[in-house]
């Protein structure tokens, strides 16, 4: 056996945390790290949020799991609340983002099938996308590095360049069922899709009988300052996958659908053992209680502006290290001129956690509950890291 008993699939940082408090993670030696990774946009309310701790422990004392053979009141309640606050009429709960995407892709194919178009099963996706690590979602993401060595790519995904409407038009064939897009690409490097592009995709779907699927696994649930990122564009999808933030650290995902889009999802055609179990639903409802409370999302917007403006200032000060600050809400990216892994390591030296992304970006995804003081603290650490990486003499 080599080294550890774990699969070697992750290149982990040499850090192990024992406790979390709000925006802070504390290791075994008591060192405190400012967490602007938030479990990759998962710990939406930070660590050990009292409302989540009490929702989970209270439910744990009553009932953990019954399976979807029975009614689960917490599940109906969370679904009704997601429906009341989105374009959707129906929800299917999962345990992860990839499963939510699988459900969305299957729902789109079934929609076409029951609409008399069994030949329509293909989904158009975009370069730089990330939709998960199942066989279908690596095919949807289309990235060679995730597909290599896993046998034939799952059939039915056609990829076009990011935001290229002409390429989408050309890619639509009589076999196309749906278009799938992240309104803001996360892993791809915090790349926002312009509202006009989303509008044109909506038109193309309507003109061609296709379903529009949004992947809001990373950008949804308040991260951009609205409950869902698509609200900024005014364009509603037919299907949407969410996960990450809705569980605040407990594994929860969901596929949201209009009645029409979900019309093929009849008893027995899809299922899950764990999805939507009482523990997950107790936490999901508690997350929504906080995120939907009056003023919460306005605060996210206000704090996001503070962080983004501060980042722009650091970028101006160290143009040889940072090219630009990009993104929306608390889904921000620093496009680096040095290697992004160096920037991430520099921040770690400052006891601050971040996440790398494509396009040489370092992502800053603090809990939505981050305070002004913590934002100022973070900016100080980013400035110090940038200053150490800066080589003005070499830039001249
Ligand atoms: N979609 C997007 C946009 C993501 O960012 C991710 C995860 O990073 C996924 C899907 C997959 O989610 P999961 O890892 O929970 O399967």
In this structure, are residues 329 and 301 in contact, taking their beta carbons and an 8 Å threshold?
Answer: yes
pLDDT at 395 over 90: no
Q: What is the residue-averaged pLDDT of the chain?
A: 97
What number is the average pLDDT over the span 375-392?
A: 95
- Helix, strand, or coil here: 374? helix
Q: 326: Cβ below 6 Å to ligand 1? A: no
Residue 82 backbone dihedrals phi, psi, to 5 degrees: -65, -40
Going by DSSP bridges, is the β-strand pair 361-364/122-126 parallel, antiparallel, or unpaired? unpaired
pLDDT at 365 over 90: yes
In this structure, are residues 227 and 74 in contact, taking their beta carbons and an 8 Å threshold?
Answer: no
Residue among 99, 243, 272 to mutate when testing ligand 1 (max atoms within 8 A of CB): 243
Q: 223: Cβ below 6 Å to ligand 1? A: no
CA–chain centroid gap for 37, Å, is: 12
Q: 102: Cβ below 6 Å to ligand 1? A: no
What number is the average pLDDT over the span 329-357?
A: 98
Residue among 44, 97, 142, 356 to mutate when testing ligand 1 (max atoms within 8 A of CB): 97
Distance CA 227, CA 216 (A): 10
pLDDT at 1 over 80: no
Give the pLDDT confidence of 156-188 residue by residue, as tens digits.
Answer: 999 999 999 999 999 999 999 999 999 999 999
Residue among 38, 40, 132 to mutate when testing ligand 1 (max atoms within 8 A of CB): 132
Q: Which atom of ligand 1 lies nearest, measured to the CA of 101? A: 10
Give the pLDDT confidence of 120-161 residue by residue, as tens digits.
Answer: 999 999 999 999 999 999 999 999 999 999 999 999 999 999
Distance CA 276, CA 65 (A): 9
Q: Which atom of ligand 1 lies nearest, measured to the CA of 133? A: 16
What band does 391 get if pLDDT is binned at 50, 70 and 90?
confident
Closest to 180 (Cα-Cα) out of 126, 144, 242: 126
pLDDT at 112 over 50: yes
In this structure, are residues 301 and 165 in contact, taking their beta carbons and an 8 Å threshold?
Answer: no
What band does 393 get if pLDDT is binned at 50, 70 and 90?
very low
Percent of the chain with pLDDT over 70: 98
């Amino acid at each position: 056996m080599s080294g550890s008993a774990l699969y070697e699939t992750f290149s982990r940082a040499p850090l192990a945390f024992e406790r979390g408090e709000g925006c802070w993670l504390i290791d075994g030696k008591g060192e405190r790290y400012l967490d602007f990774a938030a479990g990759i946009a998962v710990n939406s309310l930070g660590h050990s949020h009292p409302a989540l701790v009490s929702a989970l422990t209270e439910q744990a004392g009553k009932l953990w799991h019954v399976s979807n053979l029975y009614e689960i009141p917490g599940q109906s309640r969370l679904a009704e609340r997601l429906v009341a606050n989105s374009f959707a009429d129906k929800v299917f709960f999962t345990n992860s983002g990839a499963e939510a995407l699988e459900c969305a892709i299957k729902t789109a194919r079934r929609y076409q099938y029951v609409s008399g178009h069994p030949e329509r099963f293909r989904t158009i996706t975009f370069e730089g996308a990330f939709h998960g690590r199942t066989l279908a979602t690596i095919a949807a993401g289309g990235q060679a590095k995730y597909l290599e060595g896993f046998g034939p790519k799952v059939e039915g995904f056609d990829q076009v360049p990011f935001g290229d409407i002409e390429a989408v038009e050309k890619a639509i064939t009589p076999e196309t069922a749906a278009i799938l897009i992240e309104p803001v690409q996360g892993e791809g490097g915090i790349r926002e899709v312009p509202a006009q592009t989303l509008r044109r995709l909506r038109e193309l779907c309507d003109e061609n009988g296709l379903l529009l699927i949004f992947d809001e696994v990373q950008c949804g649930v308040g991260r951009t300052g609205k409950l869902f990122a698509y609200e900024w564009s005014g364009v509603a999808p037919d299907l949407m996958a969410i996960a990450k933030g809705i569980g605040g650290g407990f594994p929860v995902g969901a596929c949201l659908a209009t009645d029409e889009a979900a019309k093929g999802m009849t008893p027995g055609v899809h299922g899950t053992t764990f999805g939507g179990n009482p523990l997950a639903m107790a936490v999901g409802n508690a997350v929504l209680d906080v995120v939907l409370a009056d003023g919460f999302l306005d605060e996210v917007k206000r704090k996001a502006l503070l962080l983004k403006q501060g980042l722009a200032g650091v970028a101006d000060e160290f143009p040889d290290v940072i090219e630009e600050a990009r993104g929306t809400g608390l889904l921000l990216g620093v496009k680096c001129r040095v290697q992004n892994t160096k920037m991430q390591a520099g921040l770690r030296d400052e006891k601050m956690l971040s996440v790398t992304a494509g396009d040489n970006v370092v992502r800053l995804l603090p809990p939505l509950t981050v305070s002004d003081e913590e934002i100022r603290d973070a900016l100080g650490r980013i400035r110090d890291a940038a200053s150490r990486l800066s080589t003005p003499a070499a830039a001249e």
